[in-house]
Amino acid sequence: MNNSWCTAEQCPCDVSVDDLFKIGIGPSSSHTVGPMRAARAFVDELAGLPGRPRPHRVSVRLLGALGATGVGHGTPDAVIAGLRGWRSEDCDPLLVRGQWDRLAEDPWVRSPAGPLLLRPEDVRLDPKDRSAGHPNAIDIAAYDGDGRPLLLRRYLSVGGGTVLMEGEHQAGSRRAIPWHFGSFVELVEICERHSMTIDEVVRQNEEARGRRPDDHLVRVWGVMNAAIERGASASDSILPGSLALRRRAPRLTAAVTGGAPVAVSELSRLHAAAMAVSEENAAGRRVATAPTNGAAGIIPAVVDFYLRSAGAGAQGAVGMLLTASAIGAIVKAGASVSGAEIGCQGEVGTACAMAAGALCSALGGTPAQVGKAAEIGIEHHLGLTCDPVAGLVQVPCIERNAIAAVTAVQAAMLTLAEGEPRNRVSLDTAVTTMAQVGADMHAKYKETSLGGLAANVPVC
């Protein structure tokens, strides 16, 4: 089955490495990073309006899933940080938390467009008002001193920190690239015909667009590795939020390094690394989307597993991330990586597939084997709901990252052990199925905290 999603709007080979691996802050790429980027884009546009009256006041509405879990995901804080002109990739994460509460003391936001009045009540959560364009929508409006509107914009946070204005299509660069593929089958055909690996195809396409993918991914891996190290040694034992959830990565890391049996040690190291990043994300600290924040611990844990076992350096991480980006691009074009759109199968399922394929390639697997490993990662997450308890990216999200990291390693190992048997389910078929399952899934299981564990686990 040769599915091809290469359309006028988006093709897998148009999804860049930067789209999948963004440096940002927790706890959510769609609910924190995306809204911050949207608000920053708004004030930049406001500052550039020609011959405009001076803006005086702004208002914000968080629609759909952003309104439903916005407080737990830190969305109001992120929007205000973006209005101040802060960027998720280099702001101080500790300064972002509490921005909404501080408006009660000082309702003036110092923005690139000048001081803007934003009272706490001017940030509204409207979970029942949904945009037809995407479940994650945000309205931002600016007014002059007489209350006349100066600029009105609706942004869609479509997953992984990517933001579009409503009506805008997520098209990639149309600059000439050497390798066009609309499905994984087509990508494998390119690799086999030209004796290339998947990471080489991605690198050449990125370089043809004038990008420096290796430089970007070295920085991304640095952020991922730093998150593992911080999370493994964190001294703040309780994560923010109403669950008062205890960090587990520091204790698990200490147990692993204290002389656990080898088999237990390797398994637990994967658990610990994935949970360390996920707990840092839950605490609102610096992480990288992979391809989202809710799934940010899976790929770093698997890359760390490979680098330790192979004695490889940062360049080994770059190769894995390039391979992973091809898989993520195919999922993003053929289905979605947004939990609000298709459930957690699009976040954790995609990250597991990306990590499994990347590890398979790093261990010498062929492009066809990479696809098989990635398909296993998706297949066993189909239908996974997004049901964060109390609207926090903690339960079941943190544990899901740990289990999915192990699944990714198992998928790669199983694929390599079996050699090159015919795969009855292709990666392309699994991606199409993910999209169909997501379309059928009830909205209460898509990052609204209205169903699943979120509806059944009491919050004291």
Whether residue 439 lies inside any domain: the answer is: yes
CA atoms within 13 A on the CB side of 303: 30
Are 65 and 209 contained in the same domain?
A: no
Are 103 and 211 contained in the same domain?
A: no
Domain end position, chosen among 158, 191, 216: 158
138: three-class secondary structure by DSSP: strand
Orientation angle between helical segments 314-334 and 348-362, nearest 10 degrees: 140
Question: In this prediction, what percent of the chain has a pLDDT beyond 70?
Answer: 95
In degrees rounded to 5, what are phi and psi of residue 88?
A: -65, -25
Rounded distance, CA 341 to CA 364, Å? 35
CATH assignment of the domain containing 116: 3.30.1330.90
DSSP 8-state code for residue 245? P
Rounded distance, CA 176 to CA 145, Å? 48
The alpha carbon dihedral of 455, 249, 86, 166 has a sign of negative
Mean pLDDT across 312-317: 94
Q: Which of 281, 211, 292 is nearest to 247 (CA)?
A: 281
What DSSP string runs through 392-430? -S-TTHHHHHHHHHHHHHHHHHHHHHH-SPPPSS-HHHH
Which pair of tokens denotes residue 128? 């029942």
Chain-centroid distance, C-alpha 454:
21
pLDDT at 117 over 80: yes
pLDDT computed for residue 8 by the predictor: 42
- For 85-111, how does the pLDDT look when each residue is reduced to its tens digit (9 = 90+)? 999 999 999 999 999 999 999 999 999
Which pair of tokens denotes residue 415? 């694929």
* Range scoring the smallest mean pLDDT among 170-174, 258-262, 393-397, 407-411: 170-174
Whether residue 167 lies inside any domain: the answer is: no
Whether residue 460 lies inside any domain: the answer is: no
* Range scoring the smallest mean pLDDT among 165-169, 279-283, 304-308, 410-414: 165-169
The CA-CA-CA angle for residues 288, 291, 295, to 5°, reads 80
Are 424 and 314 contained in the same domain?
A: yes
Are 258 and 338 contained in the same domain?
A: yes
pLDDT at 440 over 60: yes
In degrees rounded to 5, what are phi and psi of residue 299?
A: -65, -45
pLDDT at 193 over 90: yes
When divided into structural domains, the chain yields a total of 2
Phi-psi group of 91: left, alpha or beta (phi > 0 → left; psi -120 to 50 → alpha; rest → beta): beta
* Range scoring the smallest mean pLDDT among 38-47, 116-125, 127-136: 127-136
Are 64 and 187 contained in the same domain?
A: no
* Range scoring the smallest mean pLDDT among 27-41, 157-171, 238-252: 157-171
Are 402 and 313 contained in the same domain?
A: yes
Whether residue 224 lies inside any domain: the answer is: yes
Radius of gyration of the CA atoms of the chain, in A: 21
Burial of 406: CB neighbours in 10 Å, binned 0-12, 13-18, 19+: buried
Are 127 and 183 contained in the same domain?
A: no
Q: Which of 376, 425, 379, 384 is nearest to 401 (CA)?
A: 384
DSSP 8-state code for residue 238? B
pLDDT computed for residue 9 by the predictor: 58
Residue 180 confidence class, pLDDT cut points 50, 70, 90: very high
Residue 1 confidence class, pLDDT cut points 50, 70, 90: very low
Domain end position, chosen among 130, 158, 186: 158
Are 270 and 364 contained in the same domain?
A: yes
CA dihedral 4, 6, 8, 14 (to 10 degrees): 160
Chain-centroid distance, C-alpha 85:
22
Domain end position, chosen among 102, 130, 158: 158
Are 152 and 183 contained in the same domain?
A: no
Report the predicted TM-score, pTM, of the whole model to 2 decimal places. Answer: 0.95
Q: Which of 347, 67, 98 is nearest to 240 (CA)?
A: 98
- For 150-175, how does the pLDDT look when each residue is reduced to its tens digit (9 = 90+)? 999 999 999 999 999 988 766 555 56
Are 183 and 137 contained in the same domain?
A: no
CA atoms within 13 A on the CB side of 147: 0
- For 349-375, how does the pLDDT look when each residue is reduced to its tens digit (9 = 90+)? 999 999 999 999 999 999 999 999 999
Domain enclosing residue 95, as ranges: 31-158
Are 151 and 211 contained in the same domain?
A: no
- Outline where 21-71 has alpha helix (H): 34-47, 64-69
Whether residue 457 lies inside any domain: the answer is: no
Chain-centroid distance, C-alpha 57:
32
Burial of 97: CB neighbours in 10 Å, binned 0-12, 13-18, 19+: middle
- For 256-289, how does the pLDDT look when each residue is reduced to its tens digit (9 = 90+)? 887 666 566 888 999 999 999 999 999 999 999 9
- For 42-62, how does the pLDDT look when each residue is reduced to its tens digit (9 = 90+)? 999 999 998 878 899 999 999
Whether residue 103 lies inside any domain: the answer is: yes
pLDDT computed for residue 459 by the predictor: 86
Are 281 and 331 contained in the same domain?
A: yes
Mean pLDDT across 316-341: 97
Whether residue 25 lies inside any domain: the answer is: no
Whether residue 2 lies inside any domain: the answer is: no
